[in-house]
């Protein structure tokens, strides 16, 4: 009997929702319209709390190097970080990072990222179930950073990326490049170009997909007289118009009689398109060992909201606590009214145990 792949029950709802949220649409990838968008999914709790993008913060946090290699410094030598995301249903993301500095070659951060989408069941046309299969994405990354002078630093990161969905496999390579500039009064500006590369082995022969290239510009400043850092990120610089036509018309813009779509005026349209590029966030420092975080992602809210029940879609929050030799970060990011993923990260300096 020939096997076909189907999804059952609420797991189907969650995996389809995952595809919409992270851009990691399994069927679109097999069809060749895009792949490896999991590379743009935040795994670090701190990154998720501040918008899920490349953060312009230079405080020697190894977790930030995954999205911005220009932040890699010699102070990350022997730092170790572990992260886990309890996504939806039995979907989970995890990563491990380790930093090492070599006197002759510079500072490096190695990262291993794994996304597990759970177990699915085979079934024939009549719905008879026969066995299971899995789906996962993974990436190994090696980042390098160098401080050129007191103000300017650069970085690059090589990636080996792969996916396996049932019997379909894919393999590719990519690179990130980044630069940061620090002013004398504490402003930090960062520009990153992520996922420059290609798919070397596609899911189907001769059907190579594009990688999720993304350019981001970030600004941050820790205020002088208030224990607060403000963060602003301009996302997807490579494409201006990030809007799309919603076939479900949840906002009621399509006239049911004529089928005409109600258009915003030019000012509203420009403002909407501009705000879809902007992520706002901040950190509030309570003493030396406690940090509160929050952010707002306008694009996520516009794409994932249910108009008659907006809730906190597009918002994220988190907390960071230093306990002995460990930095523990926790956050939640609201993608939809059905719930929010939980992010947990733990970092430590291995050298601190030798002192």
Domain that holds residue 105: 20-241
* Mean of pLDDT over the chain: 86
Task: Pick the closest to residue 95 from 59, 142, 63, 134 (CA basis).
Answer: 63
Specify if 80 maps to a domain: yes
Specify if 123 maps to a domain: yes
Instruction: Quote the pTM value.
Output: 0.84
Specify if 217 maps to a domain: yes
Specify if 309 maps to a domain: no
Answer whether residue 125 shows pLDDT above 70.
yes
Specify if 59 maps to a domain: yes
Specify if 140 maps to a domain: yes
Dihedral sign from CA coordinates of 98, 103, 73, 22: negative
Per-residue confidence band for 255, with pLDDT thresholds at 50, 70 and 90 = low
Specify if 2 maps to a domain: no
Report the domain count for the chain: 1
Answer whether residue 336 shows pLDDT above 80.
no
Query: What does the H/E/C string look like for the chain?
Result: CCCEECCCHHHHHHHHHHHHHHCCCHHHHHHCCCCCHHHHCCCCHHHHHCCCCCCCCCCCCHHHHHCCHHHCCHHHCCEEEEEEEECCCCCEEEEEEEEEEECCCEEEEEEEEEEEEEEEEEECCCCCEEEEEEEEEEEEEEEEEEECCCCEEEEEEEEEEEEEECCEEEEEEEEEEEEEEECCCCEEEEEEEEEEEEEEECCCCCCCCCCCCEEEEEEEEECCCCCEEEEEEECCCCCCCCCCCCCCCCCCCECCCCCCECCCCHHHHHHHHHHCCEEEEEEEEECCCEEEEEEEEHHHHHHHCECCECCCCCEEEEEEEEECCEEEEEEEECCECCECCEEEEEEEEHHHHCC
pLDDT tens digits, 217-241: 999 999 999 999 999 999 999 999 9
pLDDT tens digits, 194-225: 999 999 998 888 777 789 999 999 999 999 99
Specify if 128 maps to a domain: yes
Answer whether residue 34 shows pLDDT above 90.
no
């Amino acid at each position: 009997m020939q096997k076909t792949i189907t999804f059952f029950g609420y797991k189907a709802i969650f995996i389809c929702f995952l595809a919409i949220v992270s851009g990691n649409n399994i069927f679109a990838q097999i069809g060749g319209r895009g792949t490896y968008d999991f590379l743009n999914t935040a795994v670090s709790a701190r990154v998720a709390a501040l918008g899920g993008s490349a953060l312009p913060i230079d405080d020697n946090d190894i977790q930030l190097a995954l999205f911005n290699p220009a932040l890699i410094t010699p102070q990350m030598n022997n730092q170790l970080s572990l992260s886990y995301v309890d996504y939806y249903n039995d979907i989970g993301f995890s990563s491990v990072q380790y930093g090492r500095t070599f006197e002759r070659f510079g500072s490096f951060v190695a990262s291993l990222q794994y996304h597990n989408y759970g177990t699915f069941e085979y079934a024939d046309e009549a719905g008879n179930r026969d066995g299971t299969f899995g789906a996962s994405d993974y990436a190994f990354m090696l980042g390098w950073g160098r401080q050129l002078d007191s103000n300017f630093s650069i970085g690059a990161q090589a990636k080996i990326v792969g996916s396996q969905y049932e019997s379909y496999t894919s393999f590719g390579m990519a690179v990130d490049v980044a630069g940061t500039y620090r002013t004398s009064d504490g402003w930090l500006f960062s520009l990153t170009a992520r996922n420059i590369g290609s798919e070397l082995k596609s899911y189907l022969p001769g059907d190579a997909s594009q990688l999720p290239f993304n350019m981001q510009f970030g600004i941050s400043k820790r205020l002088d007289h208030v224990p607060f850092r403000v963060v602003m990120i301009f996302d997807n610089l490579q494409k201006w118009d990030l809007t799309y036509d919603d076939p479900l018309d949840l906002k009621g813009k399509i006239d049911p009689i004529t089928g005409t779509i109600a258009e915003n005026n030019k000012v509203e349209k420009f403002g909407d398109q501009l705000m879809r590029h902007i992520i706002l966030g901040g950190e509030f420092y309570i003493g030396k060992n406690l940090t509160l975080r929050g952010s707002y992602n306008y694009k996520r809210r516009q794409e994932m909201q249910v108009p008659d029940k907006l809730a906190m879609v597009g918002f994220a929050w988190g907390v960071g606590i230093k306990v002995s030799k460990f930095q523990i970060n926790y956050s939640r990011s609201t993608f939809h009214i059905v719930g929010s993923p939980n992010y947990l990260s733990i970092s430590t300096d291995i050298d601190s145990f030798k002192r």
